[in-house]
Amino acid sequence: MRYVMKDKFVYKFGKTTEGNRNLKELLGGKGANLAEMSSIGIPVPPGFTITTIACKRTIDQSLHWPDTLYDQVVDGVKHIEQEMNMGFGHSNRPLLLSVRSGAAVSMPGMMDTILNLGMNDLVANALVQQFGNERFVYDSYRRFIDMFGDVVMGVEHRLFEESMTALKREVGATSDIELSAEDLKVLVERYKAIYRKQTGHMFPSDPFEQLTLAVNAVFSSWNSSRAKKYREISKILGLVGTGVNVQAMVYGNMDTNSATGVCFTRNPSTGEKKLYGEYLINAQGEDVVAGIRTPIPILDMQQRMTEVFDELNRYTSKLEMHYKNMQDIEFTVQQGTLYILQTRNGKRTGEAAVTIAVDMVNEGLLPKQEAILGLVDPEHIDQLLHPQFSSNQIGETELLGRGLPASPGAAVGRVVFDSKEAEQAQQKGEEVILVRIETSPEDVGGMSAAQGILTSRGGMTSHAAVVARGWGKPCVAGCSDIVIDDKNKTFTNGVVTVHSGDWISIDGTRGLVISGKKDREAPKLSQSYYTFMNWVREYEPMVVRANAETPKDAEIAKKLGAQGIGLARTEHMFFGKERINIVRKMIMAEGESEREAYLKALLPYQKEDFKGIFRVMESYPVTVRLLDPPLHEFLPQNEDEMAKMALDMGMTIQELQRKVEALNEHNPMLGHRGCRLGITHPSITQMQTRAILEAALELREEGVEAKPEIMVPLVGNVNEFTHQKSVILAEAERVFLAFNQRIDFEIGTMIEVPRAALTANEIADEADFFSFGTNDLTQMTLGYSRDDAASFIPYYLEEGILMDDPFQTIDKEGVGQLIHMAKELGRISNPTLKMGICGEHGGDPRSIDLCHELGLNYVSCSPFRVPVAHLAVAQAALKQAKENEELCV
Amino acid sequence: MRYVMKDKFVYKFGKTTEGNRNLKELLGGKGANLAEMSSIGIPVPPGFTITTIACKRTIDQSLHWPDTLYDQVVDGVKHIEQEMNMGFGHSNRPLLLSVRSGAAVSMPGMMDTILNLGMNDLVANALVQQFGNERFVYDSYRRFIDMFGDVVMGVEHRLFEESMTALKREVGATSDIELSAEDLKVLVERYKAIYRKQTGHMFPSDPFEQLTLAVNAVFSSWNSSRAKKYREISKILGLVGTGVNVQAMVYGNMDTNSATGVCFTRNPSTGEKKLYGEYLINAQGEDVVAGIRTPIPILDMQQRMTEVFDELNRYTSKLEMHYKNMQDIEFTVQQGTLYILQTRNGKRTGEAAVTIAVDMVNEGLLPKQEAILGLVDPEHIDQLLHPQFSSNQIGETELLGRGLPASPGAAVGRVVFDSKEAEQAQQKGEEVILVRIETSPEDVGGMSAAQGILTSRGGMTSHAAVVARGWGKPCVAGCSDIVIDDKNKTFTNGVVTVHSGDWISIDGTRGLVISGKKDREAPKLSQSYYTFMNWVREYEPMVVRANAETPKDAEIAKKLGAQGIGLARTEHMFFGKERINIVRKMIMAEGESEREAYLKALLPYQKEDFKGIFRVMESYPVTVRLLDPPLHEFLPQNEDEMAKMALDMGMTIQELQRKVEALNEHNPMLGHRGCRLGITHPSITQMQTRAILEAALELREEGVEAKPEIMVPLVGNVNEFTHQKSVILAEAERVFLAFNQRIDFEIGTMIEVPRAALTANEIADEADFFSFGTNDLTQMTLGYSRDDAASFIPYYLEEGILMDDPFQTIDKEGVGQLIHMAKELGRISNPTLKMGICGEHGGDPRSIDLCHELGLNYVSCSPFRVPVAHLAVAQAALKQAKENEELCV
């Protein structure tokens, strides 16, 4: 055949191979990979790939194939026939083919696989002759008609199903397996009739006609509305079409010398360097999946099929060496001949990921940088830090419901519905799970006392979720499968009702609520973990800080590698037992002088809080955010507590209620909070400033040189910042005068209101640092209340309106654009401005990647996310370095 | 004296005048104006102005005057002495001076006036000799010491006051007037002692020393912290300093041939061309202000002081001709000699403004453009459109409280606390004022039935305020002076308690709540009004549309000149009596098919709504916004209504309550609303689309060719828009098919989420128009909930953190920047994109000016603001044209 290179549409693989893994754009990912395996001598069933260019040309010409394509396909089939010593459509050793799509990027909406292509009555007869297994042959035949009809011709699969159900009824069979070869022969005829009726054509018996139609179906699926939509949403541009892979069928169910199986090159649970997997003799891949027969451990193969096993070992090692990663491999043995059907990087646990990475570097398989970038995901690290259930198996009846995996880890305890009860239980040494419709800052005592938290309402960034993640405490949030009855202290999923005191287990890693006590394992950090994290720290361009507001949290954060505190929320401290009453009186105070008296009473507590954190963090910087939430969050919301408070304050409950109501807001998120509080009540800012600076000065005597950074929240206008700055500076001077010594400290601001980003040049003139509060910035830029967005975000994700939950991963186009603007404007005004992010996104790898791209100085996240963030930071840097290198080459 | 021009620091005025009104930067506004009056022959008491440059040089040289300044000042004093035939510090005909500051822009924090400068014991004696009025002289003397001490030397005014109080006690006087000349002589000595004690200096008796110190005090006040802060906040740049005006004192209280008075060149209430004002014979300006004597109408002067009156008439006419505006003039007659002390543009009522503008154009005094630009404020027009109280006088005991002037006009009625009651009262023909803590969409029936609305909570853009302004109905909002007791149906201001059924009057123009029935006047639109508005329409580059959702509102809007509907909120229609129950059932529906059934029932109602509006607006475009508010707004919130609804729906009240609670949101502003509703429930969008298009098609038979524009609310992501657009287009095709005819319509979006502005290029690719929803855009960009911001915005305005309420005038730096970005990005993608704003800012003149500057196509506002907007649009255009002209000259 003669054609110029640009008209080469078919690339063969097998013993003769024309492609390789670099030709993804031309051959699609699957095609390139099959070629690659073939070219390094892996026994892949022979086949060929039709190029993406051929797809494009065909589509452009209204499904007319380019001139030489048909000839090249025929030539490709010949290539398979030769390598298999079989004939396509022949009555002697008939060749059957599989046809599947494969673009450079995998995408939904593309055509499914068609197996057993080439089958017709003649071929079926020949196969029966060849293998003597009539039932297998006709079962394959009817499956082929079903698949071809459905996938290629759009005949509804339902129609074939219904026909089979009818037949089963006729012959009195209850399952497919009970159908005999004769029954299946009847079914083949009925399927053909269905096909005829629905398409208006005879079922094509010519194998080449089958192939042509199948290839065209693959081509057409490139422009299916689902695939187009996916490419549009995912912004996949520049791809011209899909490849088509045509490959010889092989069978593991021909005799006892045949088999099929899957294996991992290393243990995906532990990382141990040992072949791991299972197989079935005389079986097809489907049998493994269907669970009809129990597979055998792969190592048993050594005795049963010694030669094949050695071969398999050799090839799997080769694949691992070649791909420099643990491989997940599918294989089939047909009458003693081993075929590798697929290889891909294997999924693994966190423990395995770290072990494999460290081992592979030590084995000299790849350098540290590549191991960090390619072998461990940030989520692997996260997994390692939380206790897990020993077994992943959960019975149907055990499962009470599914919610959001809000904070990973496994927790077991008795159900309580009240924070007070949780605290009492803790004092008695009991383990409880706090179950609430949703949590509020009043619940933090109970949340802290509980083993885990379960809510029926709220999203991934609801109060419960955020607090729980901050503490590394398992939490399942927004579990709408259950309905909580606070009054009667029960919850139910409609079937099972759980009472207060019953044991439940929650899996925050997977979002499961389970009845009873499940066994757990504590996290054991291996030597590999520490080795790996040390490597990670060698490649870090950004600092990782933690969000923490207690010495205990700060301690954990520091142990896990935090290089400072990026966000200490002072309001959490206000909820302490001795304090909340003073705080409430302070809020209800009539006039500034009464308020100041209460603030004076709070001062020693706040000072001790800060001393505790400063002592732990030593000379690491600690960013303290001034009071942020609206004041009504501190007031009691239920009648009992109100009555108590009214009594305590010498007012009637009605008076108190009126005051509480007056402070309630329609949209508290956009209300009287943040610096708006400090501006209308400067005495609060003064007290907090004094507490921070006195704490730092008093610690000098202990030899600790604290580095406080005071952060003004919710600034949207430079005048707000300068107001608060001058209050802080004036109070600082008073403190310094009293102590007769000074201390260096910084004053900066959150950038969390869109207007702050838009006017960042003005604010940067005055501020020492910016901390992007991406939670609030997301809420305001997108107009999503994170407490309410659970009602539409899941729907948006499903419909492809959003690609990611913007509270998990920073919305690059909107929020990211504002951060970029703020950074550019800020650095122009103030070239030494320090910038970072705090908030939930600080622990999200993709958001961290964006922060690195934007050139921020640090990220700050929950203590338990610190190692995750370290890895993400290193990966961001290594990824960029690699891209730069590739650009230079 | 010799100096080069750049060293000319003193500009004289009087018979010899060196300056003019164009020298504002050099002489300050006051100085330039005094020079201007002098130069056109107005008898101004002679004086001189020290330049702003002299101020700057003096400040730069640490209060050392530039070389020749002292000589020039002495020369200036000589000029006054000559023109007045008096001597500064002389014992014969002593000259006294006034000293006052005057920068190019008036600003708070600058030095106050000092009168009677030049006074000392010798001069006092001479004055007594000259005028024979010892009491007058020593009263002037003690006032001078007080003023000088306070203003120049910073001696607290309080100390002088206390000294006087002590003296009055000693002599048994109860008021200042009872103090004799002898007493005042004593007081002068005591004042001098206070001065001595406080400053450590003798009171300066040398007139030139007094003058030097006073001038320096004015110079220094330029850099007072208050003035600096004001310049900083107001972004007043480029001014170098303040001028100082030194002027001869004149006295209207020397004899019966002396007088003092104020007059307007035309009647400021009616605009009638006739001198209007009042005067006092033998009196000082202070006497008029103090109200001790009753002034005489100015026209009486014609008989009493014929010559002076003729002179006054001549000069006031001249000033009006010169300034081309109605003037407010202060004058003094000293022994038969007329002095004009000040002239400025006179404040006037709306009626007067329009009449004067039309008259002056007809008189040929100035061209239409200048009259539109300079003689009528948009608020004048607003005033004309609402009924007012006949008298502005309100007794102390009548006034129940002050709130926000939320919607102008005067209303009188009996108090009701319940919307239902209001509706019943209306049916009986009774007039009521609806008094609520705040209103919600459930109250619209009652609000519509009431004469006016009073709320104790909520800001200028609260629900009550917005709805009331939309209807041109008087409203006082956020009146925190009163406490409402819903249960007992009373409200109280702590002194007076008002019961249900009592009469009250509210003044929405001034924000007053008054007990009893006050008389009112209906607005009468004069011929001048129509003439003026016709002129306005000649200079309009932007279209003015109205926000209206009923045929009645649309009718009003059209009559007032609306050129389309920019915002028809469909949700208001959902509250109609027959509809709300269907709407509620639709919301509570289980599953889409049940929901669709209820939507089908709503369809005819919505269609009728749209037909009504389209019929009124004929071929003017009508923008219909799809359902916007969160669904829980439609559900009953009180127990009675819930019980009724539960019964109606066949569910228990508990079930209903649970459903209602499940729909409640923490931050409804940022919740499940806007297009998020239409996306999760496409059937709502379908129903509304069908109602709009069927209405338009059915109206064809009536010969009305409607121009519907369908607007998708709260879009933040182009995918949201394309989703809704495809739902709309698909439904439209179904409608067109059924009618077998098509209609042109547009599909556009609100830009009200910051992210929409940031990604406007993507959205503009798909949209026919953008309508900037500046209410929500302000809420999200600034992070202010308009329902809650009343707790801090007033404080922010007072502290100078904000210059304007951002819900009244668009925040140019933040929100304006986003609009600008959206416009630029939008026009790049879609050069024919139509853009406008709707929402409260659409009726605010300064926001309209910004819209014109940004190049938007239209503004849309409440019906009653339409004429206001017309004027603002014309003014914006004329202002720009004038600026361009000035740039060219």
* pLDDT 10s digits, A695-750: 999 999 999 999 999 999 999 999 999 999 999 999 999 999 999 999 999 999 99
- What angle separates helix B653-663 from helix B577-588, to the nearest 10 degrees? 80
Rounded CA separation B283/B252 (Å): 5
Query: Average pLDDT in the B239-253 region?
Result: 92
List the one residue out of B568, B567, B611, B605 whose CA is nearest residue B583: B605
- Looking up tokens 């199948």, which residue turns up? A214
Q: Is some CB atom of chain B closer than 8 A to the CB atom of A720?
A: yes
d(CA B121, CA B104): 37
**pTM value?**
0.80
In angstroms, the CA B778 to CA B789 distance is: 12
The phi and psi torsions of B123 (rounded to 5 degrees) equal -65, -40
Our CA angle for B579, B581, B587, nearest 5°, is 105
Distance, CA of A578 to CA of A21 (rounded, Å): 66
In this structure, of A758-762, A790-794, B99-103, the range with the lowest mean pLDDT score is A790-794
Distance between CA atoms of residues A594 and A587, nearest Å: 10
Mean pLDDT of B779-787: 94
DSSP H helices in A565-652: 577-588, 592-617, 639-649
Cα gap A132→A880, rounded to integer Å: 59
Q: How far is A672 from chain B (nearest CA, A)?
A: 7
B236-to-B31, B230, B233, B243 alpha-carbon distances in Å:
19, 8, 8, 16
Q: What residues of chain B, 801 to 840, have a C-beta less than 8 Å from chain A? A: 801-802, 811, 813-815, 817-818
Q: Is A755 on the interface with B (CB under 8 A)?
A: yes
Residues near A243 by beta carbon (within 8 Å), at least 6 away in sequence: A26, A27, A28, A30, A31, A49, A50, A51, A52, A55, A101, A102, A103
**Cβ pair A814:B787 closer than 8 A:** no
Confidence of residue B239 (pLDDT cuts 50, 70, 90): confident
Q: Which residues of chain A lie closer than 8 angstroms to B789, CB-CB?
A: 670-672
Answer yes or no: is pLDDT of A13 > 80: yes
- The pLDDT-based confidence of A858 (bands split at 50, 70, 90) is very high
Separation of alpha carbons A50 and A62, rounded Å = 17
Catalytic residue (choose from A463, A572, A632, A852) = A463
- pLDDT mean across residues, chain B: 91
Please identify among residues 670-709 of chain A the ones whose CB lies closer than 8 Å to any CB of chain B: 670-672, 674, 676, 679-680
Residue A344 confidence class, pLDDT cut points 50, 70, 90 = confident
pLDDT of residue B387: 79
Stretch A65-69: mean pLDDT: 93
A716 in reach of chain B (CB within 8 A): yes
pLDDT of A225 higher than 80:
no
CB atoms under 10 Å from CB of B496, counted, come to 15
Interface test with B, best of A456, A758, A776 (most B CBs within 10 A): A758
Token pair for A150: 């459905």
For residue B250, what pLDDT is reported? 93
Q: How far apart are CA B438 and CA A666, in angstroms?
A: 12
B291 in reach of chain A (CB within 8 A): no
* Beta strands A276-281; A259-264: pairing state: antiparallel
Q: Are A686 and A600 in contact (CB under 8 A)?
A: no
Q: Which residues contact A189 (CB under 8 A, 6 or more apart)?
A: none
Average pLDDT over residues A423-446: 87
- A302: CB partners within 8 A, 6+ apart: A309
Q: Which of chain B's residues have a Cβ under 8 Å away from the Cβ of A799?
A: 679, 723
Q: Give me the residue label for tokens 């997977």.
A: A510
Q: Chain B closest CA to A232's CA: distance in Å?
A: 10
Token readout for A881 is 């370095």
Q: Are A254 and A112 in contact (CB under 8 A)?
A: no
From residue B210, alpha-carbon distances to B152, B157, B158, B251 in Å are 9, 18, 22, 21
Is residue B581 over pLDDT 80?
yes
| Range of lowest pLDDT (A500-509, B83-92, B100-109, B761-770) | B100-109
How many CB atoms are located within 10 Å of the residue B132 CB? 11
Residue A236 has pLDDT above 80, yes or no: no
Q: Report the 10 Å Cβ neighbour count for B694.
A: 20
Locate B731 and state its tokens: 């439904």
Strands (E), A466-549: 475-477, 483-485, 490-492, 497-499, 503-507, 512-515, 520-521, 543-547
Give the span between the Cα atoms of A503 and B95, in whole angstroms.
99
pLDDT interval class at B358 (50, 70, 90): very high
Interface contact B758-A818, CB threshold 8 A: yes
Residues 570-589 of B with CB under 8 A from A: none
Higher-confidence residue of B455 and A405: namely B455
Q: Which entry of A675, A838, A851, A861 is annotated as an active-site residue?
A: A838
Query: Is B838 among the residues known to form the active site?
Result: yes
- CA distance linking residue A278 with residue A294, whole number of Å: 9
pLDDT value, residue A461 = 60
Report whether B72 contacts B5 (CB < 8 A). Answer: no
CB B12 within 8 A of CB B24: no
User: Is residue A826 within 8 Å of residue A761, measured between CB atoms?
Assistant: yes
Q: Which residues of A touch B666 (CB under 8 A)?
A: 668-669, 785, 787-788
- A3 pLDDT more than 60: no
Mean local confidence (pLDDT), A231-260: 85
Q: What span, in angstroms and rounded, lies between the C-alpha atoms of B67 and B218?
A: 19
Contact B374, B356 (CB under 8 A): no
Which residue in the set B233, B716, B796 is minimally distant from A782, CB to CB? B716
**Cβ(A343)–Cβ(A327) below 8 Å:** yes
Q: Is-contact B787 A784, C-beta < 8 A?
A: no
Cα(A137)–Cα(A298) distance, rounded to whole angstroms? 28
How would you list the strands of the sheet with A10-13, edge to edge? A10-13, A47-50, A243-248, A97-102, A114-117
* CA distances, B882 to each of B308, B373, B886 (Å): 39, 10, 6
Average pLDDT value over all residues in chain A: 91
Question: A386 and A406 in contact (C-beta within 8 Å)?
Answer: no
Contact A801 B723 (CB under 8 A): yes
User: How many Å apart are CA A564 and CA A548, to the nearest integer?
Assistant: 10
Which among B755, B799, B813 is the nearest to A782, CB-wise?
B755
Contact check, Cβ <8 Å, B671/A785: yes
Contact A670 B719 (CB under 8 A): no
Instruction: Report, as an integer, the average pLDDT of B304-313.
Output: 95
* Lowest-pLDDT choice from A339-353, A384-398, B428-442, B560-574: A384-398
Q: Is B95 helix (H, G, I), strand (E, B) or coil?
A: strand
Q: What percent of chain A has pLDDT over 90?
A: 67
Active site annotation includes B463? yes
Read off the amino acid at residue A110.
M
Interface test with A, best of B791, B797, B798, B803 (most A CBs within 10 A): B791
Q: Is the pLDDT of residue A577 over 70?
A: yes
Query: Is the ipTM above a cut-off of 0.95?
Result: no
Residues in chain B closer than 8 A to A719 (CB atoms): 233, 800-802
Contacts of B686 (CB under 8 A, 6+ apart): B599, B727, B731
- Cα–Cα distance for residue pair B360/B352, rounded to 1 Å: 12
Q: Which ranges constitute the DSSP H helices of A740-773?
A: 754-758, 760-764
Vertex A686: Cα angle to A682 and A692 (nearest 5): 145
Number of H helices, E strands in chain B: 35, 33
- Helical axes A866-888 vs A527-537, angle rounded to 10°: 50
What pLDDT, on a 0 to 100 scale, did the predictor assign at position A706?
97
Please check the confidence at residue B844 and state whether its pLDDT lies above 80. Answer: yes
Mean pLDDT of B22-33: 92
Task: Please tell me which residue in B79, B380, B386, B463 is annotated as part of the active site.
Answer: B463
Q: Cα A411 to chain center, whole Å?
A: 21
Closest-CA residue to A215 (of A148, A158, A137, A154): A148
**pLDDT at res. B3:** 54
Tell me what pLDDT residue A1 has: 47
Instruction: With a cut of 70, say whether residue B1 has pLDDT above it.
Output: no
At A650-705, the pLDDT tens digits run 888 888 888 888 888 999 999 999 999 999 999 999 999 999 999 999 999 999 99
Q: Which two tokens stand for residue B532?
A: 């003026």
CA distance, residue B397 to nearest chain A CA (Å): 27
What per-residue confidence (pLDDT) applies to B283?
Answer: 81
Q: How confident is the model at residue B174 (pLDDT cuts 50, 70, 90)?
A: confident
Chain B residues lying within 8 Å of A781, measured CB to CB: 753-755, 758, 780
Q: Which of B868, B867, B837 is nearest to B852 (CA)?
A: B837
Nearest to B508 by CA among B650, B413, B397, B600: B413
Strands (E), B94-234: 94-95, 97-102, 114-117
d(CA B886, CA B889): 5
Q: Decide: helix, strand or coil at residue B512.
A: strand
pLDDT digits (tens, 9 = 90+) for B622-636: 999 999 999 988 988
CA angle A42, A45, A48 (to 5 degrees): 105
Q: Is the pLDDT of residue B439 over 90?
A: no
Element (H, E) at B246: strand B243-248
The percent of residues above 90 in pLDDT, for chain B, comes to 67
State whether residue B628 sits within 8 Å of chain A by CB.
no
Distances (CA, A) of B616 to A401, B606, B669: 56, 16, 32
The pLDDT score that the predictor gives to residue A821 is: 97
